[in-house]
Amino acid sequence: MDDKFIDAVVQQVMSKVGGGSNGGSTGGAAMQNPGMTEFVGTAIGDTIGMVIANLDPDLHEKIGIDKKFRSIGILSARTGAGPQIMAADEAVKATNTEIVKIELPRDTKGGAGHGSLILFGSEEVSDARRAIEVALKELDRTFGDVYANDAGHTELQYTARASQACEKAFGTPIGRAFGLIVGAPAGIGVLMIDAAVKTADVDLIGFLSPSGGLSLTNEVVGTVSGDAGAVRQAIITAREVGNRLLGSMGAEPKSLGVPYI
């Protein structure tokens, strides 16, 4: 009985504390509508989605968005960059919008990685709203291959056909299969990438390190392109290697959603 009681207390405390020291903190996806037309919804990773129908002209100019976009969609998160970028990639494919800005703060609420701020531009607010709705929904999937324990996290992403968000964030060739490999602490990412490119015939198109392309996160990131089957195989190998190494530093890494790759 004592054990159960302790578990109950621990659980209650952990839920209050949230993922403070955890790379994969997902926050609470509260769904209280604030009663504003600008609000679209929230999702995993302390992500909030919003729209502005007619952006103030001075603000429009200061942000530096193309004049043709009267409306913007905003996807903003405390935890996660890869999941939000991949979700935005699907949203761009599905709607009449463009990605006009991607900024990656150093965040994850004390974890090792990025948060994200992604802006969509559109001529009609209905398009921006639809893009945000699609992106918020996709996050359930794109967090599926994020794994975390107290020591760090790994992240894998895969798409058979990259679109504009991947291009803008990673310089990915549009229309080709694309894979993203992330390890934290950073050294784990080096081994994940090495194993991935040795296991399958893929092009290593990018290598990003804390001060070499990332926002001082404790990550190493690799991006691969090529034949769809080869990219998928490379990603699966990276996942196996990364989670074994991360597991040596703490508990078994847990998926933050349902693995999709």
Q: Which of residues 206-245 bind a second copy (CB under 8 A)?
A: 206-207, 209-212, 214-220, 222, 241, 244-245
Segment interacting with a second copy, rule: CB under 8 A, options 87-95, 140-148, 183-191, 229-237: 183-191
Binding mask 53-92 for a second copy (x = CB under 8 A): --xx-xx--xx--------x-xxxxx--------------
Distance CA 78, CA 65 (A): 23
Task: Decide: is 131 part of the binding site for a second copy (CB under 8 A).
Answer: no
Reduced to 3 states (helix: H, G, I; strand: E, B; else coil), residue 99 is strand
| Contact status: 106 vs a second copy (CB under 8 A) | yes
Q: How far is the CB of 4 from a second copy (least distance, A)?
A: 11
CB half-sphere exposure, 175, CA atoms < 13 A: 0
Q: Least distance to a second copy from the beta carbon of 1, Å? A: 11
Among 124, 228, 247, 260, binds a second copy (CB under 8 A): 247
* Interface stretch with a second copy, choices 86-94, 157-165, 182-190, 230-238 (CB under 8 A): 182-190
Write down the residue that tokens 């001060």 correspond to: 211
On whether the CB atoms of residues 244 and 221 are closer than 8 A, the answer is no
Cα(67)–Cα(76) distance, integer angstroms = 22
Residue pair 99/52 in contact by the 8 Å Cβ criterion = no
Q: 3-state class of 186 per DSSP?
A: helix
Tokens of 83: 């999941």
CB of 145 to a second copy, least distance (A): 19
Backbone angles phi, psi at 14, to 5 degrees: -60, -35
- Residue 23 or 144: the one with the smaller Cβ distance to a second copy is 23
